[in-house]
A and B are shown apart, each in its own frame.
Chain A
Amino acid sequence: MVSRSSALQVVDLDQPGASTDAEQRILDAAVVLVARWGVTKTALGDIAKEAGCSRATLYRSFPGGKRHLLLAVADRELQAAIAALVDAVATADDLEDALTRALVVSARLLRDHDAAQFILEHEPGLLLPFLGFHQVDRLYRRTAQVFGPHLERFLPADRAEWAAEWTARVFISFIFNPREDLDLISIDDARSLVEGFVIPAFVPMDCQPLSTTRLLHPPTT
């Protein structure tokens, strides 16, 4: 379902991603160093040293330099997160369960990712190309396209995409504005949001003709 080279396509790779063992080692090393020092202070030389390879090897694998390498890191980490999320959603019992799992798994993946945590805390400006005003639109669009199909077990395609986008909005909101009394890593907390505020907008599939959207035909009660 998830195409190898895309990772939500919020990162723009003009070069193919890493594939060889050496390249994976370089990406691993970059993740370790970013978690420790951040993006700005991590130099290519340090990454080569940490990965146990020469600078020449590193440049052969990532001819675009630091930017290329770091985008490859982001792409790989996102790819892994998407795969984990798709797994979590695939085994859900119903829509509420699926959206709750998506929030909890996203929150836990982020919490446990030291490099992402460092950037969020100390270098949030770096996220702007992906999360800034118009750029975040792209993230929502890709989330809808990638995760929408996995919610079609519960909803018509258009509603499924919208449910995915909505869940992404909830997640992004809570990253940048945590609520002291509510933590998305808690299943009960995430479920209370989904159950309380999202699910009511999604009527069961058999109550709504598949071919219509609510926008074109607002339901009359």
Chain B
Amino acid sequence: MSDDARTRILAATVVCLGRYGIAKTTVDDAAREAGLARATVYRHFPDGKEQLIAEAISWAVSQFFAELAEAVDDAPDFPTLLERALVHAHQAVEEHVVLQKILQTEPERLLPQLSQSSKEVQEALRDYLADRLRSERLLPGVEPVPAGDWLARMGLSFILAGGRWDLSDPRQVRSLVRDELLVSILPAGVREA
């Protein structure tokens, strides 16, 4: 029950961030949106607004990646998994109403918050990818953890900014994944299956 209330408060805070922004969202807004008493919010987040917003953003980030993992989980092979992850994540960033709103209005408040999560995200992605790589036939000399770390970094880099690659074009994503990112990791036969 308590976990429920906590999640409800975090989700409500994210809604408020989309509506009022980081600077203007208050503990009262979050309590009202969650349908809970102010005191309940303070019980879960005793340090008040700053703690609430930091935890709401880090919760939203983990939600984002949980949904991403779910979206790609049934991929038949590793290259397809990576392709789907890039396409899905790119689209999810573009369509993330709260993220886009804050990027437009308060980018300078968002970056410090996101960089708090960035180590955690990088490590979680690395472990997830390394785990998947353990059941793949890797090129000689390739170890799952450094390869997972590398792919997590490059994946995040492309999710944040596509550069010369149009991540809404499946053909380009296929080329990026199979002809570039995985060349050093998987044998040609696996990449082109």
Contacts and interface: CB of A to CB of B under 8 A. Distances in A.
- Chain B binds chain A: yes
A133 B163 CA distance: 10
A128 interface: yes
- Nearest 8 A/B pairs, CB to CB: A221-B188, A200-B184, A125-B108, A173-B153, A140-B163, A201-B183, A169-B157, A137-B161
B162 interface: yes
A140 B153 contact: no
A18 to B, nearest CB: 26
Interface string A140-172: 110010000000000000000110011001101
A219 interface: yes
B46 interface: no
Interface string A87-117: 0000000000000000000000000000000
Interface of B: 93, 103, 107-112, 115, 118-119, 122, 142, 146-147, 149-150, 153-154, 156-158, 160-164, 171-172, 175, 178-181, 183-185, 188-189, 192
A193 interface: yes
B115 A124 contact: yes
Contacts of B153: 169-170, 173-174, 177
Contacts, number: 94
Interface string A194-214: 001111110000000000001
Contacts of A193: 150
B157 A125 contact: no
A189 B146 CA distance: 12
- Name B's interface SS: helix
A119 to B, nearest CB: 12
A179 B118 CA distance: 12
A63 interface: no
Contacts of B108: 125-126, 128
B184 A201 contact: yes
A218 B108 CA distance: 41
Interface of A: 124-129, 131-134, 136-137, 140-141, 144, 161-162, 165-166, 169-170, 172-174, 176-177, 179, 193, 196-201, 214-215, 218-221
Contact of A177 (B110, B122, B181): B122
25 contacts: A124-B111, A125-B108, A126-B108, A128-B107, A128-B111, A129-B107, A132-B103, A133-B161, A137-B161, A161-B164, A162-B180, A165-B164, A169-B154, A169-B158, A173-B153, A173-B154, A176-B118, A196-B142, A197-B185, A200-B183, A201-B179, A201-B181, A201-B184, A214-B175, A214-B180
